[in-house]
Amino acid sequence: MSFALVIGAGPAGLMAAEELGRAGHKVVVVEAKPSVARKFLMAGKSGLNLTKDEPSEDFLAAYGAAADWLRPMLADFGPAQVQTWAEGLGQPLFTGSSGRVFPEVMKASPLLRAWLLRLDGYGVEVRTRWRWTGWSVEAARFDFETPQGPQTLSPAVTVLACGGASWARLGSDGAWAEWLPETAPFQPANMGFEVAWSTHMQPHFGQPLKNIVLKAGDQQVRAECVLSERGIEGGGIYAVSRALREGAKLHLDLVPDLSEAQLRDRLAAVGKKQSTKNRLRKGARLDAAKLALVMKCARPSPVDLAPVLKALPVPLQGPRPMDEAISTAGGLRLSALDDGLQLKAMPAVYAAGEMLDWEAPTGGYLLTACLATGRWAGIAAAKAMTSGQMDTTG
């Protein structure tokens, strides 16, 4: 009996399996780790941000250069459809003030349990501890290391959903890249950056910088970030991490609700005889973490503090290691895929999720695109199985 193979049991792979199973096909999902969707569950520990409720063009813009390529997939399964899908799995949702959408329980585990039950109802078989070790493209044969020893599968169609190259301990190690053509080198995305802090910064490690605007090149975002022993990280940094990775300098507006002129007036009202710290604390109302940051990054202390507070330079030393990044850029080049996410050089093999060369900030964009591409590839693979016609023209 012919069957569909899905390699990787993260959100993209499970969504592909759902569409293949819904279409009535036998589906085998293989996962290298002892359990499925480990990165998905890890993301849900601090609150599962499923998607973001905002106008479609604003949502698409978050994907940068990949926006046009992703447009049809996100039009078919974007924020509204993700919400309907999650609610159909029995998960009531709420939308935060920023537009981010979460399950009311905040966790990922209830949604995953319901999802796996649905897949089981479709007859989808999940095999864990099956690690992909190689393949024969000509024979459409896939080799695996399993608890039962080496195994080989010869599916009718295959969807690859192997993830990127961050958080290897959760299953995304990028090892598959050596087997596929047209693969762009991996780079960290949504990651922290290293800063050589002086000892006086130690009391502020773990403290958030709130009510700030982060500036990187032409990009500006109002969000929080966190000072850490290793540098600076958090949602605000992740939002501008691509620009920083590509060489932009980081500047922080520590007082975004005041203009430079208003800030200068407030600082002057404190009195010139006051120390710099007192002028910053009283005039700009900086908290201890912001004050320490200014004293670290604005030496020697300028006479006019207002422009410094509106664009404080933070001396970054480079991104944190890729395995610590929330996601990665790089992977299978989009030019290697046809409109159905089939590999042009490998008929009946499709790819989806973070193993493709696109990136997006956190905030629901990553997960939505993983679900959307997984669904798109699953539908295309299901149609190919139904028709029995595999496109071999590339």
Same domain, 203 and 168: no
Same domain, 25 and 144: yes
Same domain, 39 and 100: yes
Same domain, 306 and 277: yes
pTM: 0.92
* Structural domain boundaries, residue 245: 193-314
User: For the chain, where are the alpha helices, taking DSSP H only?
Assistant: 11-22, 38-44, 56-61, 67-76, 79-88, 109-121, 235-239, 241-245, 260-270, 276-283, 288-297, 306-310, 365-387
Local confidence pLDDT in tens for the 394 residues of the chain: 799 999 999 999 999 999 999 999 999 999 999 999 999 999 878 789 999 999 999 999 999 999 999 999 999 999 999 999 999 999 999 999 899 999 999 999 999 999 999 999 999 999 999 999 998 877 679 999 999 999 999 999 999 999 999 988 888 999 999 888 899 999 999 999 999 999 989 999 999 999 999 999 999 999 999 999 999 999 999 999 999 999 999 999 999 999 999 999 999 898 777 888 888 999 999 999 999 999 999 876 677 899 999 999 999 999 999 999 999 999 999 999 999 999 999 999 999 999 999 999 999 999 999 999 999 999 999 999 998 744 433 3
What is d(CA 195, CA 240) in angstroms, rounded to the nearest whole number?
A: 16
Token pair, residue 384, equals: 């190919």
Token pair, residue 219, equals: 């990009």
The verdict on residue 247 lying in a domain is: yes
Instruction: State CA 87 to chain mean position distance.
Output: 22
| 300 Cβ contact partners less than 8 Å away, ≥ 6 residues apart | none
Last residue of a domain, one of 289, 314, 339: 314
What is d(CA 45, CA 30) in angstroms, rounded to the nearest whole number?
A: 24
Number of structural domains, the chain? 2
Calculate the alpha carbon distances from 49 to 113, 188, 393 in Å: 17, 20, 40
